[in-house]
């Protein structure tokens, strides 16, 4: 009878190699799953830590924007009040000193016309 020892030995080696490869694949899969689980946990931890910081930052930005809007509104109102006071002061001066106000207005108009005349001459040359 012919023995099949080399054939049996090769089958055993193939089976062992197959088992070894299967164990390596399962081990790699297990390690990959554990790594992904750990990474997912880290991402959740980072998100949980960053979310309050982002919320606080957005609240601070909103407050800063509101302060800017309030400052512009206040400045605009102050400018409007100053213009109104200047107008009232001018009207009061005209009522109190009408002749003097007309002379000042005429002198200002003449000075402006002279200035415009000089500027137009210098541009034409």
Tell me: the pLDDT tens digits for 57-109?
999 999 999 999 999 999 999 999 999 999 999 899 889 999 999 999 999 99
Helix/strand/coil (H, E, C) string of the chain? CCCCHHHHHHHHHHHHHHHHHHHHHHHHHHHHHHHHHHHHHHHHHHHHHHHHHHHHHHHHHHHHHHHHHHHHHHHHHHHHHHHHHHHHHHHHHHHHCHHHHHHHHHHHHHHHHHHHHHHHHHHHC
Determine which of 4-8, 29-33, 78-82, 108-112 has the lowest per-residue pLDDT on average.
Answer: 4-8
Q: For position 1, what pLDDT does the model report? A: 46
Total-model pTM: 0.43
User: What residue spans define the domains of the chain?
Assistant: 5-29+42-124
Split at pLDDT 50, 70, 90, the class of 45 is confident
Q: For position 43, what pLDDT does the model report? A: 85
């Amino acid at each position: 009878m012919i023995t099949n020892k080399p054939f049996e030995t090769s089958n055993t080696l193939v089976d062992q190699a197959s088992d070894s490869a299967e164990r390596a694949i399962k081990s790699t899969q297990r390690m990959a799953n554990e790594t992904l689980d750990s990474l997912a946990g880290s991402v959740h931890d980072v998100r949980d830590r960053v979310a309050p910081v982002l919320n606080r930052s957005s609240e601070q930005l909103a407050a800063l924007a509101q302060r800017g809007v309030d400052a512009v509104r206040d400045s605009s109102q102050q400018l409007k009040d100053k213009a109104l006071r200047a107008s009232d002061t001018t009207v009061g001066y005209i009522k109190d000193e009408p002749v003097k106000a007309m002379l000042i207005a005429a002198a200002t108009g003449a000075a402006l016309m002279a200035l415009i005349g000089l500027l137009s001459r210098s541009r034409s040359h």
